[in-house]
Amino acid sequence: MRVTVLGAGSWGTTVASICCRRQPTLLWARDPDLAKQIDEEHRNPRYLADFPLPEELRSTADLAEAAGHADLLVVGVPSHGFRAVLQEAAPHVRPWIPVVSIAKGLEEGSLLRMTEVAARILPGRPTAALSGPNLAKEIMAGYAAATVVATEDAGVAEALQRVFHIGLFRVYTNHDVVGVEVGGALKNVIAIAAGVGEGLGVGDNSRAAVIARGLAELTRLGVAMGGEPTTFAGLAGLGDLLATCMSPQSRNRYVGLQLGRGRQLADILAGMNQVAEGVRTAGLVMELAARYQVEMPICSRINGVVTGRLTVADAYRGLLRVRPGHESEPY
């Protein structure tokens, strides 16, 4: 099976490095210079400078070549560019091949999940989501990790599991695509909240409370959207949430940490060479919360912070002022 991965960020490059151990893999990079460095020098100095890449891994900046190569198309483009790249690639993608999203976000305007976007642009192809607590640099360093590949077709899920499950990278299957994608998107917003708490110096107890209550929030919305509660207690829910809230490698935690230390959001984002999806997702989550009539106080406060309506101190104080009810309730 020939695999194409669209998107040469840290996670796209990591997934391509995994896949190329067993099948011919082509990594598409938007920047021709980066594609040449990956293809000829076997390194990605922009995102994974400390890790040599497998010599078997090929790269190109030609999207038509990359799309036409694929028996399996993996899409790692950030959510805001996901549709545009797939639309450009679509004329070159063969019928019936599986399309796997490894992006964790929602589409602005439509509020679609990434597999929903893929299904609209590439109809007739089975779609799946790969998501879990997967920090790219740890996987490149050879540490054990686990993830979930979610698709409604059990046969396709098992076939994809065989592609991605290599060595210490364990891949579980799941049929709950909604739950897996919602967990992957919403945890980024909660990670900003956890980072804000760390920046403010609120202590581990307080941050643990934010993570636990954040999990309750994303579970409520995910179930309202059609996801299954057990999914949010698994790798694509709790597992991904913990890694993103705690790890120094987490971009969304970093954004929150810097906000908590008093920096302006524009300055933080200007100094980053990768996307922090939670900044975009915060507002989209609130649109979904209104649509499904779900209370999401933590996400609401973080949306207030990233839009400039609230200071980080006011956001935390606002959460503490409300009298707590039963643990199953929003507040």
Domains of the chain, by residue range, sit at 3-175, 178-321
Task: Domain 3-175: state its class.
Answer: alpha beta
Alpha helices in 101-202 (DSSP H): 114-121, 136-140, 154-164, 177-200
C-alpha angle with apex 279: 276 to 282, nearest 5 degrees? 135
pTM over 0.85: yes
**What strands, in cross-sheet order, belong to the sheet with 169-174?**
58-60, 25-28, 3-6, 72-75, 99-101, 127-131, 145-150, 169-174
Query: Which listed CATH number (1.10.1040.10, 3.30.70.1230, 3.20.20.70, 3.40.720.10) goes with 178-321?
Result: 1.10.1040.10
Q: Find the mean pLDDT for residues 105-125.
A: 97
pLDDT at 311 > cutoff 90:
yes
Say which range, 10-24, 199-213, 312-326, has the weakest mean pLDDT: 312-326
Task: Kindly state the average pLDDT of the residues 219-223.
Answer: 98
- 111 contact partners, CB below 8 Å, separation of at least 6: 284, 287, 288, 291
Q: Any idea what DSSP says for residue 152?
A: S
Percentage of the chain lying above the pLDDT 70 cut = 99
Identify the three-state secondary structure at position 143: coil
Report pLDDT digits (tens) over 60-93. Answer: 999 999 999 999 999 999 999 999 999 999 999 9
Lowest mean pLDDT among 128-137, 282-291, 321-330: 321-330
In percent, how much of the chain has pLDDT > 90?
92
HSE value, Cβ hemisphere, 13 Å, CA-based, for 237? 25
Q: Is residue 321 predicted with pLDDT exceeding 80?
A: no
**How confident is the model at residue 323, as a pLDDT?**
72
| Residues tagged active-site | 187
Where does the pLDDT of residue 318 fall: very low under 50, low under 70, confident under 90, or very high at 90 and above? confident
Q: How far is CA 191 from CA 57, 151, 319, in A?
A: 32, 26, 16
Instruction: Show the tokens assigned to 82.
Output: 């996901």
Residue type, position 79, single letter: S
Is the confidence at residue 320, as pLDDT, over 70?
A: no
pLDDT tens-place string over residues 154-182? 999 999 999 999 999 999 999 999 999 99
Mean pLDDT of the chain: 95
Q: Are 184 and 208 in contact (CB under 8 A)?
A: no
Position 331 pLDDT exceeds 80 = no
* Phi–psi pair at 68, nearest 5 degrees: -70, -20
Residues 175-195 have pLDDT tens digits of 999 999 999 999 999 999 999
